C-alpha cells in the first residue's frame, strides 16, 4: 500500500488515457474511500463499476476492501466479479465516484 496512492484493475484489452486519468485523480484524496470506473446502476444502490472498462481504487478503498475480506464482511458473493466488488464497496462505505468528463 505504501508505494502507490491509486490502484487500477483492468483487463488486457483495456486502453487507458493516462493523462486523463491523472487529471481525474489529481482532484481527489487517495486517503478518502472512493473508486472510479464506468458506473452501471442496476443491482447496487450507488451503482457499481464495470470490470470490463476497468476501475481505480483509492489507497483507502483498497485497504477497506482487503480488511473486509480478512474479516468476512465481504465474500465471493457472485461469480460476476464487478457486481460482487460493487456490493462489497457499498457495504464498507466506499463511494462510487463520478468519473465522467463534463467538458
- What pLDDT, in 10s, does the model give residues 64-76? 999 999 999 988 7
pLDDT digits (tens, 9 = 90+) for 52-98: 778 899 999 999 999 999 999 988 767 778 888 888 999 999 999 88
Predicted pLDDT at 45: 67
Percent with pLDDT over 70 in the chain: 84
Global pTM?
A: 0.84
Contact 30, 5 (CB under 8 A): yes
Distance from C-alpha of 37 to C-alpha of 46, rounded to nearest angstrom:
13
Amino acid at each position: 500500500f505504501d508505494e502507490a496512492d491509486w490502484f487500477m484493475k483492468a483487463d488486457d484489452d483495456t486502453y487507458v488515457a493516462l493523462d486523463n486519468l491523472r487529471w481525474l485523480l489529481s482532484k481527489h484524496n487517495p486517503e478518502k474511500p472512493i473508486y472510479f470506473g464506468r458506473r452501471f446502476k442496476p443491482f447496487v444502490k450507488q451503482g457499481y463499476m464495470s470490470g470490463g472498462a476497468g476501475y481505480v481504487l483509492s489507497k483507502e478503498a483498497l485497504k477497506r476492501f482487503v480488511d473486509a475480506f480478512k474479516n468476512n464482511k465481504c465474500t465471493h458473493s457472485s461469480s460476476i466479479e464487478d457486481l460482487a466488488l460493487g456490493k462489497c464497496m457499498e457495504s464498507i462505505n466506499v463511494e462510487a465516484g463520478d468519473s465522467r468528463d463534463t467538458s
